[in-house]
Amino acid sequence: MDTENTQATIKQKQRQRKAKALRSLLIRTTLLVVILYVLLFHIVGLTAMKNGDMSPKIETGDLLLYYRLESRIKSQDVVILEKAVNKDMTAAQTETSKQQYVCRVVACPGDVVDLTNETGLTINGNAVVETGIYFQTKPYEGYVEYPVTLGENEYFVLADYRNGGVDSRFFGPVTSNEIKGVLITLMRRNSL
């Protein structure tokens, strides 16, 4: 009888240890999922570059890691933004048809942006000379009228590929609400 009780006690303790280990695993897994959710959906984001607008520094297919909580956006930051560009849509359609863009900030709130075929890009009356930009910055005809004075929480963004990139020359200034985050780093598609 003692042997039977001892074996039953041993089996019960083994079941309790297994249940405790299983509870511990479930708690740790749940905690990990919550941390990853907060990290990936509220603090940082990951997206792929969908086009060649930032070529040659960022190529199509590169993975972009960006910080969502940046509140001090400055000139030359590369930002990921969502913008509705079709001006003929109703407000209800605009909400569901936003597109993602990756652009470089060239002017911040309060700046005056002027863009002409003759002088190129000027900010606050000063000509802008940019390194790593291989095409002259020219306005797109029929979209934005210059000069543009940026209001509070408005930014003027340009694609690095200045011959055809979709940016503020096409859709005008962007607001801080449209900016999803600031680029932290990228991973080249050919190194994956």
- Residue entry with tokens 């740790």: 28
10/82 same-domain check:
no
Q: Which pLDDT score is estimated for 98?
A: 87
The model scores a pTM over 0.85: no
3-class SS letters over 135-167: CCCCCCCCCCCCCEECCCCEEEEECCCCCCCCC
- 172 located within any domain: yes
Q: Which pLDDT score is estimated for 41?
A: 84
Q: Helix, strand, coil proportions of the chain in percent (round to 5)? A: 30, 30, 40
38/122 same-domain check:
no
Q: Which pLDDT score is estimated for 110?
A: 96
87/177 same-domain check:
yes
Whether residue 147 is preceded by a cis peptide bond, meaning omega within 30 degrees of 0, is: yes
H helical segments located in the chain = 2-38, 91-96, 168-171
Q: Which pLDDT score is estimated for 40?
A: 81
72/150 same-domain check:
yes
68/157 same-domain check:
yes
Number of domains, the chain = 2
Q: Which pLDDT score is estimated for 8?
A: 83
The 10 Å Cβ neighbour count of residue 119 is 11
Q: Which pLDDT score is estimated for 89?
A: 45
What's the CA gap between 47 and 111, in Å, rounded?
30
End-of-domain residue from the set 25, 44, 63? 44
Helix H or strand E segment including 72: none
What's the CA gap between 62 and 89, in Å, rounded?
31
Tens-digit pLDDT profile for residues 32-52: 999 988 888 889 999 999 999
CA-based radius of gyration for the chain: 26
Mean pLDDT by 10 residues, the chain (192 residues): 78 91 95 90 91 91 93 94 70 64 97 93 93 89 94 96 92 95 89 52
Q: Which pLDDT score is estimated for 4?
A: 76
- 58 located within any domain: yes
- Residue entry with tokens 């003692």: 2
66/159 same-domain check:
yes
Q: What are phi and psi of 176, to 5 degrees?
A: -65, -25
CATH of the domain at 100: 2.10.109.10
31/78 same-domain check:
no
Q: Which two tokens stand for residue 38?
A: 């907060």
62/22 same-domain check:
no
29/108 same-domain check:
no
174/125 same-domain check:
yes
16/70 same-domain check:
no
Q: Which domain holds residue 34?
A: 2-44
- 191 located within any domain: no
